[in-house]
Amino acid sequence: RRPFPRPTRRRIFAVANQKGGVGKTTTTVNLAAALAMHGVRVLVVDLDPQGNASTALGVEHRSGVPSIYEVLLGDRPLHEVVVQSGEADGLYCAPATIDLAGAEIELVSMVAREGRLRKAIASLSKDVEVDYVFIDCPPSLGLLTVNALVAAKELLIPIQCEYYALEGLGQLLRNVDLVQAHLNQELRLTTILLTMYDSRTRLADQVVAEVKEHFGDRVLGTTIPRNVRLAEAPSYGQSALTYDPVSRGSLSYLAAARELAERGVDAPNGTVR
Ligand code: ADP
Ligand code: MG
């Protein structure tokens, strides 16, 4: 395996789209696994109370296990809740438990409520030295997603190749503007990934063309096809790259991860444009 280039500075991605079911978690898990399998060290922060990313990485997340909830609401250091995923050496996960469902409300009355994840990642101890952090956001634009946008340097938006794909993105992008203006100047929308592409429909091609027209070279050249292996893998507590490494879904996430890694090194200012 030819290793992927490692960035000179840690890259922190929020994987966000307030629509559910567009492939945020599938993208987070499989990009993270692909990078880690190629010598890059990766932390996945599960910020969805459903804990789907934790599940797919084979990481325990029943109520009571140390989780991102204690980090956000209880000032617990992030490294204390981070566990190694069996998927690859150098792949770590901060799991989400169902307790996180209350966090959206509980955060409202906290001091510096938008910056709690940023602070936790910034003080991540050297025990968990990672090149990439992926924050898997819930399907909403509440305080959890805002925490992700404030903590991140880059925004990755998965867009499903379906009708209405762009609808609702305006709301996300307005939030991004607000976060840039008031909370995190560094945040950049660097990456769009088209997901669940179905080559049998003309509609899918129209969506691809429309998204590329709108977002230009921020759209990764790799488009993720609809592939049942990607949907099956989580029930085995695995990424698709482990579950079926030669499936079309796995190979496409592998190609997307390579693109992401190679771009990050070439992009002006290290990682961000
Ligand atoms: P989100 O995190 O945005 O809610 P998910 O990643 O959980 O979305 O994906 C929604 C559902 O679609 C899941 O059941 C997932 O397994 C499935 N899925 C995601 N991407 C694909 C794909 N490319 N092909 C087939 N199924 C997919
Ligand atoms: Mg999800």
Query: What is the ipTM, given to two decimal places?
Result: 0.99
* Res. 9: pLDDT tops 80: yes
pTM, rounded to two decimals: 0.96
Q: Is 195 a domain residue?
A: yes
Q: Is 4 a domain residue?
A: no
| CA 15 to ligand 1 center in whole angstroms | 13
| CA 164 to ligand 2 center in whole angstroms | 19
50 lines ligand 1 (CB under 6 A): no
Q: Which amino acid is at 272?
A: V
52 lines ligand 1 (CB under 6 A): yes
54 lines ligand 1 (CB under 6 A): no
The bound ligand whose nearest atom lies closest to the alpha carbon of 198 is: 1
Q: Is 77 a domain residue?
A: yes
Q: What is the CATH number of the domain that holds 86?
A: 3.40.50.300
Lowest mean pLDDT among 22-26, 139-143, 164-168, 205-209: 164-168
Which residue has its alpha carbon closest to ligand 1 atom 18?
Answer: 231
What pLDDT is stored for residue 1 in this prediction?
74
Q: Which of 41, 38, 39 is nearest to 92 (CA)?
A: 41
Q: Is 201 a domain residue?
A: yes
What pLDDT is stored for residue 268 in this prediction?
41
24 lines ligand 1 (CB under 6 A): yes
Q: Is 95 a domain residue?
A: yes
235 lines ligand 1 (CB under 6 A): no
Contact assessment for residue 210 and residue 166, using Cβ atoms and an 8 Å cutoff: yes
**Mean pLDDT, rounded, for 116-136:** 91
Q: Of all residues in the chain, what percent carry a pLDDT higher than 70? A: 96
Best residue among 26, 30, 227, 254 to mutate for probing ligand 1's pocket (most ligand atoms within 8 Å of CB) is 26
Q: Which residue has the higher pLDDT, 232 or 272?
A: 232
Query: Sign of torsion, CA 45 47 49 55?
Result: negative
Q: Please state the atom number of ligand 1 nearest to the C-alpha of residue 136.
A: 2
| CA 107 to ligand 1 center in whole angstroms | 28
223 lines ligand 1 (CB under 6 A): no
Containing structural domain, residue 80 = 11-265
Q: Is 5 a domain residue?
A: no
Q: Is 1 a domain residue?
A: no
Instruction: Look at the chain and report how many structural domains it folds into.
Output: 1
195 lines ligand 1 (CB under 6 A): yes
Q: Residue 20's pLDDT band (boundaries 50, 70, 90)?
A: very high
Q: Residue 137: which residues within 8 A CB-CB, separation 6 or more?
A: 14, 15, 16, 17, 24, 47, 48, 144, 145, 148
**Mean pLDDT, rounded, for 30-37:** 98
Lowest mean pLDDT among 34-38, 128-132, 155-159, 191-195: 128-132
Q: What is the mean pLDDT of the chain?
A: 93
| CA 22 to ligand 1 center in whole angstroms | 6
Q: Residue 265's pLDDT band (boundaries 50, 70, 90)?
A: low
Phi, psi of 84 (to 5 degrees): -80, 135
- Let me know if 248 is exposed, middle or buried by CB neighbors in 10 A (0-12, 13-18, 19+): middle
Which residue has its alpha carbon closest to ligand 1 atom 16?
Answer: 231
* Res. 128: pLDDT tops 80: no
- Ion ligand 2 neighbours, Cβ < 5 Å: 24-25, 52
Q: Which of 259, 261, 258, 239 is nearest to 249 (CA)?
A: 239
224 lines ligand 1 (CB under 6 A): yes
What pLDDT is stored for residue 273 in this prediction?
33
Q: Is 114 a domain residue?
A: yes
